[in-house]
Amino acid sequence: MVFIKAQKSKAYFKRFQVKYKRRRQGKTDYRARIRLINQDKNKYNTPKYRFVVRFSNKDIVAQIISATIAGDLILSAAYSHELPHYGLAVGLTNYAAAYCTGLLLARRVLKKLEMDEEYEGNVEATGEDFSVEPSESRRPFRALLDVGLVRTTTGNRVFGALKGALDGGLDIPHSDKRFAGFKKDDKQLDAEIHRKYIFGGHVADYMRILMEDEPEKYQSHFSEYIKRGIGADDIDSLYKKVHAAIRADPTPKKSTKEPPKEKKRYNLKKLTYEQKKAKLIERLNALNDAGGDDDDEDED
């Protein structure tokens, strides 16, 4: 039995300063957040919108958020689990799906602000670097990309979502250095390769390779694609249809859910402040009455 000297004494805990809650959870990068939220003081209450893209294992979340002291306000949001409404049922977390989600969010926001006729954006996705031109009447909607804690390497899916939003018509300051298809050697974006990624070309290529070399792995890996009858050559036209459907009607669909069933309560419900105070007064009165009787008995 090895005797180890206690590492964390009481003094350690007394002096320990906890990091912010969201830092402890590993969800927020405060250094980046401060710089994204800080608004020029001579712009007073003008909101500063950030285009937030987050990935989970099975979903993509794209939101437009502005910050207030009470909390962040979400102007509009788009999730990749909504893409089935527009015709895309599989591959909901790849580069192409990120592009669709960004595009959906951009069209949704512009429609909400009644700017969607003015700012069509890039209707034909070519993969080239595209920035919105300001029109005569209103300036384009400006947001700043917020990647979160993701490592921003070339070809990351957040930049797929960024491209989607840009082509949708939002004004987001960016450079093409991190889009998929940027060649570091000639410092240029290869628009062809980027367009391939936007339309799921890289997925189609992998499907073809697997079909040739390892058919069993193809069956297991792309089972959902096979189930819906999507082959390697159908992917391009599939995404084209999804883009068109998104541009046609970006409004979110309200899902009808039944109200949740009443569940049996296993633990006591917490009392409110007033209820606790009332209970205390009752107990004190009861004690006083009982105590009063005892005193009278003692005196006698």
Partner 1 sequence: MPAGHGLRSRTRDLFARPFRKKGYIPLTTYLRTYKIGDYVDVKVNGAVHKGMPHKFYHGRTGKVWNVTKRAIGVEINKQVGNRIIRKRIHVRVEHVQPSRCAEEFRLRKKKNDELKAEAKARGEIISTKRQPEGPKPGFMVEGATLETVTPIPYDVVNDLKGGY
Q: Which residues pair with 183 in a beta bridge?
A: 188
* H/E segment holding residue 108: helix 95-112
Judged by beta carbon, residue 47 or residue 231, the one nearer partner 1 is: 47
Shortest CB 173 distance to partner 1, Å: 17
Residues at the interface with partner 1 (CB under 8 A): 15-17, 19-20, 30-31, 33-34, 37-42, 44-45, 67-69
Shortest CB 131 distance to partner 1, Å: 24
Q: Which residues pair with 182 in a beta bridge?
A: 189
Q: What φ, ψ does residue 131 adopt, rounded to 5°?
A: -125, 145
How far apart CA 120 and CA 95 sit, in angstroms, is: 22
Does residue 122 contact residue 191 with C-beta atoms inside 8 Å?
Answer: no
Shortest CB 62 distance to partner 1, Å: 22
How far apart CA 287 and CA 293 sit, in angstroms, is: 10
How far apart CA 251 and CA 107 sit, in angstroms, is: 8
Judged by beta carbon, residue 3 or residue 44, the one nearer partner 1 is: 44
Judged by beta carbon, residue 6 or residue 34, the one nearer partner 1 is: 34
Judged by beta carbon, residue 68 or residue 126, the one nearer partner 1 is: 68
Q: Which residues contact 74 (CB under 8 A, 6 or more apart)?
A: 63, 64, 65
- The residue type of 232 is A
Shortest CB 38 distance to partner 1, Å: 5
Shortest CB 63 distance to partner 1, Å: 18
Judged by beta carbon, residue 73 or residue 287, the one nearer partner 1 is: 73
Shortest CB 76 distance to partner 1, Å: 21
Pairing verdict, β 144-146 and 50-55: parallel
DSSP structure class, residue 137: S
Provide the greatest CA pair distance for the chain. Answer: 105
Judged by beta carbon, residue 15 or residue 269, the one nearer partner 1 is: 15
Shortest CB 41 distance to partner 1, Å: 5
Judged by beta carbon, residue 11 or residue 290, the one nearer partner 1 is: 11
Shortest CB 105 distance to partner 1, Å: 24
Judged by beta carbon, residue 42 or residue 272, the one nearer partner 1 is: 42
Cα–Cα distances in Å, from 5 out to 1, 16, 125, 129?
A: 13, 19, 64, 60
Q: Which runs of consecutive H residues, i.e. helices, occur in the chain?
A: 10-15, 21-24, 30-37, 95-112, 157-168, 191-198, 201-213, 215-221, 223-227, 234-248, 273-299
